[in-house]
Amino acid sequence: MQDSGKKKVTIAVKVSQADQQRAAGIFESLGLDLATAINIFIKKSIDEGGFPFEIKDPFYSEANQAELNRRFKKVANNQGIHSRQLSENED
């Protein structure tokens, strides 16, 4: 017997109570319950063949990369590098 895609299954997901409440409030303001919102996310992910939005690591943001480049240039030019001699008796 072939699965027609109509059979419903239950998916259990653990999230913090605070996240569940915040998400439920957001979706309720849009006229959706949490289960419907999750179903929309799953269907959209299937349509897109992945996340329906871009997943970003803030480390690679343009602003952070520019700051890293600025700091690397300072180090390469021996600018902004500070050192101090530690006493041998200092704990």
Flag whether the pTM goes above 0.75. Answer: no
pLDDT for 56 equals 83
- Which of 40, 37, 39 has its CA nearest to residue 29? 37
Q: Which residue has the tokens 């006229």?
A: 31
Mean per-residue pLDDT pooled into runs of 10, the chain (91 residues): 74 96 97 97 97 88 91 84 73 55
pLDDT for 89 equals 67
**Residues 50, 60 contacting (CB under 8 angstroms):** no
The domain spans of the chain are: 17-76
